[in-house]
Amino acid sequence: MLLADGSEEIEAVTVIDILRRAEIEVTAAGVTQRDITASRGVRLMADAVLADVTDAPFDVVVLPGGARGAETFRDSRAVQQLLERQHQRGGRLAAICAAPSALASAGLLRSRRATSYPGFLAEADAAQLSEDPVVTDGLITTSRGPGTAMGFALALVTLLCGETRARDVAAKALAEYP
């Protein structure tokens, strides 16, 4: 999970939480620093800085949204290189809300079906823009925004661990709802 100042906290924390509930090891990496101020002022502490983990093989690289955070992902040479390496080695990529624009910037959404927060992807960025809450096309998963964060996270659990594990995590998470 990449984090940058301005990342959307609901999307980042929900995905990290659900993946960890599924017993998936998650490394939250700040693009330039560990101490992150998210889009609504919530302070997050990343596990590492991207430069320290950039060469590690990841099952999936996840980008939360938040316009300012997504701009950082789009404009960071290190992030763009990580996305390209992940794609070239056949690894999964996932982005939600404004962050699919960083995938588009790397040219990774061409000829794919994708979704994002309205207005953050253009028809030139993807072969088919979708309004579905979560879209997986090949090894790339995209999602719409904060309201779809749980579904996005569970889709990643399904892709990484199977539908049974995703259903179990969802049932336990919902059982904890008052």
Told to judge if 97 belongs to the known catalytic residues of this protein, a careful annotator would answer: yes
Render the chain in DSSP notation, one character per residue.
Answer: -EE-TT--HHHHHHHHHHHHHTT-----EESS-SEEE-TTS-EEE-SEEHHHHTTS--SEEEE---HHHHHHHHH-HHHHHHHHHHHHTT-EEEEETTTHHHHHHTT-STTSEE--STTSS-TTT-SEE--SSEEEETTEEEE-SGGGHHHHHHHHHHHHH-HHHHHHHHHHHHHT--
Q: Tell me what pLDDT residue 35 has.
A: 98
Per-residue pLDDT of the chain (178 residues; tens, 9 = 90+): 999 999 999 999 999 999 999 999 999 999 999 999 999 999 999 999 999 998 888 999 999 999 999 999 999 999 999 999 999 999 999 999 999 999 999 999 988 999 999 989 887 677 789 999 999 999 999 999 999 999 999 999 999 999 999 999 999 988 765 5
- Which residues are bridge partners to 128 per DSSP? 113
Taking a C-beta distance cutoff of 8 angstroms, is the pair 159, 111 a contact?
no
The sign of the torsion formed by the CA atoms of 66, 71, 74, 75 equals: negative
CATH of the domain at 111: 3.40.50.880
Q: What pLDDT, on the 0 to 100 scale, is given for residue 55?
A: 86
Residue 96, domain extent: 2-175
Q: What is the pLDDT of residue 178?
A: 58
Q: How many domains does the chain have?
A: 1
- pTM here? 0.94
The pLDDT of residue 87: 96
How confident is the model at residue 115, as a pLDDT?
Answer: 95
Q: 82, 97, 156, 166: which is the annotated catalytic residue? A: 97
What pLDDT is stored for residue 121 in this prediction?
85
